[in-house]
Homo-oligomer: A and B are copies of this chain.
Amino acid sequence: MRYQLEVPIVAHEQLADYEYEITVHAPQVAREAMPGQFLQVLYDQTYNPFTRRPFSVYRVDPEKGTFSIVYLARGVFTLGLRNKQVGQNLSIVGPLGNWFQPDPNPDATHVMVAGGVGAPPLYFLAQRLSCGDRTDCRVGVINGARSKELLVGIEEFDELRIDVQYTTDDGSHGLRGIVTDALLKLLDSADGPVHVYTCGPTAMMRAVVAICVHRGIPCQVSLETLMPCGLGVCMGCVVKIKDESATGYQYLRSCYEGPVFRADEIIWE
């Protein structure tokens, strides 16, 4: 169910230089949101910036009825978002879009490859797939960023008691290098079927996809496009997806059929 809500901000914390987490109280969303879904956030009632922006669901607390998003302050919208005060309302629409489909195979190892602010939806997914005290579930996370302070959710991932590896370009945390280095190692050492889920900068995701496609490993990708409406009506967010038509592709809405697509069906531009 998609809602349009004015929800109170219950927390707004700075995680790093330009990284912030906003937590709002929205029981319906906390209950119904799935890993990979997003919310359309309104800047403010003056409609300037005019359009909403999509932000992925990060941490949900169904008991408290809250959920959070993480944003990197990098443009007019997100820089302005920093002024939102606890107690003020945030206008949101969602949860929207499809979500990651965990591989049903019980023997499958679920590998999440996150880059920068691509981590939130994968944290949500990892949390759902992790099995706390049990040890029979196989979840691996590779979380990369340029430097330690741009890594989202170090504490949170660590708490999940799953195998998490970090990579940073400058080596300030975990492996020095990029996520694909870690991914290759992981795939080489993996026994049994592997299923990859990725979200991050497009360049990173393309590299991850290249590896998976080359090795015939199933991979789900959360694409980032502009989302003028986020509702599936404006057709301003479409991506080329292979089909049987004469052209060999059709334009699907990354806000509606997506944002999560199968790696092998995406035609990158």
Interface residues of A (CB under 8 A from B): 46-49, 76, 80
Contacts and interface: CB of A to CB of B under 8 A. Distances in A.
A150 to B, nearest CB: 26
7 contacts: A46-B46, A46-B48, A46-B49, A46-B76, A46-B80, A47-B48, A48-B48
A47 B76 CA distance: 12
Contacts of A48: 46-48
Contacts of A76: 46
Contacts of A47: 48
Contacts of A80: 46
A48 B46 CA distance: 6
A82 to B, nearest CB: 12
A236 to B, nearest CB: 22
Contacts of A49: 46
- Residue among A47, A48, A49 with max Cβ neighbours from chain B (10 Å): A48
Nearest to A47: B48
A76 B46 CA distance: 9
Nearest to A46: B48
A69 to B, nearest CB: 21
Q: Interface centre among A46, A47, A49, A76, by most B CB within 10 Å? A: A46
Of all A-B residue pairs in the complex, the 5 with the closest CB atoms, nearest first, are A48-B48, A46-B48, A46-B46, A46-B49, A47-B48
Contacts of A46: 46, 48-49, 76, 80
A46 B48 CA distance: 6
A47 to B, nearest CB: 7
Nearest to A49: B46
A80 to B, nearest CB: 7
Nearest to A88: B83
A49 B44 CA distance: 12
A49 B46 CA distance: 7
Nearest to A76: B46
A5 B80 CA distance: 21
A48 B47 CA distance: 8
A83 to B, nearest CB: 8
A80 B45 CA distance: 10
Nearest to A43: B46
